[in-house]
Structure 1
């Protein structure tokens, strides 16, 4: 990244020498022969750092420093002077100078001072950018949707975000459950505290307890130091339990205890620790059915589902697709260098006719692919992915009642899993991807349905 440095000095020759030296090192150098000229230049140019002489006719470097602090509070200023005294140095630092160097200038000293100041400036800018992105990304107006079903979700978020209530977000994969969880956090009194997300399906079962509650040194083989768990990391903030339906029963009991007693014990610890953490959980599974089958604790379900929010699939909020297309094309177009790209009426009709099994995540991927494929300023139907136009066979299976629904669902699930396993030669990771679930969830289903997984020779 090329930084712009403004050099201010009444000695024209020094300006030329310093400017040339800095440009030879990759900086962009601007020069001003007086403090007033520097102020004018700062109003017109984007500057990363000011390097100014202390003693100049007219506006002194000290006065310029004060004016820069007033107009640009975070801009680093380095003072240079031939009249080096401890008093001058101390006063310049007190007034907000980042550093102080002597004339005649040693280039190595100057380079170190510039590098340190610019590194700090870049960090401050990154922090501010991230803060603004988080603040903007999770404002209510960023939760885009005009449909009645999604407006119901917005109302629910607005009702619960100010409370400490535990929230359970349900919905198919790709419907935006984590986005809603973050919106609840960043619009709550806990917004300045941590938001910690945990994918319950992605952590090895033998590490789950340590991951959530932490451990003390020596509590098990490999515990070479104390480690803070996710509850400790989220202290004062929000802990987001994603894929909570994939949590093992043994851990469910421990999470239930935290919700009941607001306390937990790190692995190997002898005393409990208080937990000031708000829980927001999410799942794409039917927890009520899992409770009925004994795969999820009923008492934990009711602790989590104090305030349920059900996210509708995209196929049930078709009227939200056009504004979502605009949002994604603007955001993705900026990063891809394809700004102000629109969708033709034919393209919009094709997109609103599709069923979107992957929901908003699939729509976003589709927009990105279309932006890459399209050549002009309008995305035509021909620029869309071909799979959008593949006709789905109409459903003709009309069951005769009464039926054993549980058995029918189990049979359908078994057939789909077996077909996926056959297609990928028995490799469960790949089968899980085809089925749109994680590997652990597939393992549980294979075990429940007593499916024998056979790998072909080519997969071994």
Structure 2
């Protein structure tokens, strides 16, 4: 990639000398005889670096630097001066210059400084592009769903995103809880700050405290260096606490303190660190029931559930399935060498009748598998995974007999799905968890809860 450098100096001879040097390094060079000319060129040209003299008639190099920082915040500026002192250099860096070069210009110093500045610009530009892509992907209108339940979720995201209110997102595994968390972040005032996600169920219990709060060297065996935790990483932004229901009680107390006092100590340290973090928590478990059973702190529950958002399972918003199919085909298709692929009416009808125990995550996996197994521009019913046609859908309009024990009914349904997944995978829990759209640790907890015995051949 060829970089373009704008040189600004009122000495024409120096402009020509520097242009020759930089063109010799392989760069495209533009010239400006003063700051006003430079600003005019920046308004119409794409530039990767500005190399400017400090002292010029009219607008000085310092004033040019200030204006560039205002209008082109990620564009690096290197200042040239024959009057450089240590105080001048420090002030230039504070004002936003990438670096300064003393006159007369040394060939090697110019080459190294320009190369370093351009590496920074490339990194900042890529970060800015990725941030804009994320913001576009998670903007409210980018979320998929026209069903009444999803329209209500989008309304709730719109209401809560501009604030710093703590949000609790609930829903079955695979319903898109992290997507909602990112939408809240990228549609709020913290969008330019970090979004940090941590899954409490995916981290060994003995490492959770260090993961959240960091540690200092020597805090425990194996702590060979200082480590920054997730709260510190998310300072100024949003911390997404996924699977909050799997968090041990001892750690729950420490999380509660951070929420109340907005401060913590890294493991092994006595220094208190202040932190400004918005919390979005998520769970697929019944936290109220866990509170009643003594497995989740009541005070933490009420701190988290300030603004609850309940995500519906996919089987309760079947009308959104065609939209999701198109979205995933457009996103995944180019990754597997398939473009402009559509689902046949027969395939779409089957997919809408299926009950999707793994919800949106399972649907996404199904689309990817169908893209890989099909040929041509249309995915037919025969291209779908066998389980889509083999497993009957749950009748959405069946009238249940009341009264019922809802908790018992849900437990029965969950146990049945786990047994079916284990049977299909021959007892391989990693594969069963993938089919169910949950992680292996979460599956292990559920197997233990339901008293299921797992072997390679027999499940009971």
Q: 1:316 corresponds to which residue? A: 316
2-structure distance, mates of 1:298, 1:7:
63
Are the equivalent residues in 2 in contact too, given 1:350–1:381 (CA < 8 A)?
no
2:420 pairs with 1:436: no
Q: 1:335 to 1:125 in 2, by over 3 A?
A: farther
- Cα offsets for 1:427-455 (capped at 9, x unmatched): 54344334433222233233333444446
- Cα offsets for 1:141-196 (capped at 9, x unmatched): 22233222111111112222233332111122222211211222233344444332
Give 1:209 deviation, angstroms: 2.2
Q: 1:328 to 1:393 in 2, by over 3 A?
A: closer
2-structure distance, mates of 1:142, 1:310:
19
Aligned positions of 1:27-426 closer than 5 A: 48=48, 111-260=111-260, 262-269=262-269, 276-332=276-332, 341=340, 343=342, 346=345, 349-350=348-349, 353-355=352-354, 356-368=356-368, 379-382=377-380, 385-387=383-385, 390-392=388-390, 394=392, 410=411, 413-414=414-415, 416-417=417-418, 420-421=421-422, 426=427
Which SS does the other structure have where 1:173 is aligned? coil
Which SS does the other structure have where 2:202 is aligned? coil
- Cα offsets for 1:38-71 (capped at 9, x unmatched): 9999999866468999xxxxxxxx9xx99x9699
1-structure distance, mates of 2:190, 2:77:
36
Q: 2:58 corresponds to which residue? A: none
Q: Which has the larger radius of gyration?
A: 1
Q: 1:319 to 1:2 in 2, by over 3 A?
A: farther
2-structure distance, mates of 1:272, 1:390:
54
Are the equivalent residues in 2 in contact too, given 1:351–1:388 (CA < 8 A)?
no
2-structure distance, mates of 1:204, 1:449:
22
Which SS does the other structure have where 2:164 is aligned? coil
Give 1:310 deviation, angstroms: 0.8
Q: 1:122 to 1:344 in 2, by over 3 A?
A: same
Which SS does the other structure have where 1:197 is aligned? strand
- Cα offsets for 1:206-265 (capped at 9, x unmatched): 122232233445443334455443333333433211011211233234334444555545
- Cα offsets for 1:332-372 (capped at 9, x unmatched): 56667766x26366378447625344333344445555666
Unaligned runs of 5+ in 2: 54-60
2-structure distance, mates of 1:446, 1:231:
32
Q: CA RMSD in A?
A: 5.4
TM-score normalised to the size of structure 2?
0.70
- Cα offsets for 1:119-145 (capped at 9, x unmatched): 122123123213323433332222233
Give 1:198 deviation, angstroms: 1.3
What is the aligned length? 444
Q: 1:77 to 1:455 in 2, by over 3 A?
A: same
Are the equivalent residues in 1 in contact too, given 2:174–2:360 (CA < 8 A)?
yes
1-structure distance, mates of 2:248, 2:102:
62
2-structure distance, mates of 1:421, 1:133:
38
1-structure distance, mates of 2:125, 2:413:
53
Give 1:203 deviation, angstroms: 1.0
2-structure distance, mates of 1:414, 1:180:
27
**Mean alpha-carbon deviation: is it higher for 154-163 or for 215-224?**
215-224
Are the equivalent residues in 2 in contact too, given 1:346–1:381 (CA < 8 A)?
no
